Amino acid sequence: MPAIAALTVADGQATPANHTFGIITADGKSGKFADKSSGIPAAYIRITDEAREPANASGAYRRLVSISLPTTAVVDGVTKVVRTSSAQLVWNFAQDSTDQERKDLVAYALNFSSNATVKASIWGLDPWY
């Protein structure tokens, strides 16, 4: 089990900038992190990472990561959240999976998401054809 600590994650700018996500809570099952650099709690970028045990003998170990990215704008002189985009990542591991099988699945998921064509398709809102 990883010890809870602040995380540094780069954004997607042309020149990526690192963002520090400080700890909000941790309870032995999930960790919640936030980039509080905006100074506005409603506008904090948030990441939640939750580990779930199998619910039954045929269930899977699950890892759920969610990322919430609020966007602010000045409306009538007040900075407000005007929209929020989000992403969810879910890994399901068979109870009898090996360490290498889990490493491979994580690598495939992350490397697929890092593929230039895939990234362009996702942010361009373009489906496969």
pLDDT tens sequence across 64-114: 999 999 999 999 999 999 999 999 999 999 999 999 999 999 999 999 999
Residue 120 domain-assigned? yes
Looking at the structure, do residues 31 and 90 belong to the same domain, yes or no? yes
CA separation for the pair 33, 22 (Å, rounded): 5
Give the model's pLDDT for residue 1: 59
Give the count of domains, the chain: 2
Residue 78 near residue 46 (C-beta atoms within 8 A):
no
Residue 2 domain-assigned? no
* % of the chain at pLDDT higher than 90: 90
Instruction: Calculate the average pLDDT of the chain.
Output: 94
128 confidence band (pLDDT: 50, 70, 90): confident
- The region of weakest confidence among 3-17, 45-59, 78-92 is 3-17
Mean pLDDT computed over 6-14 = 93
Q: 66: closest CA among 86, 43, 83, 93?
A: 86
* % of the chain at pLDDT higher than 70: 98
List the domain range (segments joined by +) for residue 119: 98-129
Looking at the structure, do residues 86 and 105 belong to the same domain, yes or no? no
Residue 118 domain-assigned? yes
Give the model's pLDDT for residue 129: 83
Beta-sheet strands, E only, within the chain: 7-10, 18-26, 30-35, 45-52, 60-75, 78-94
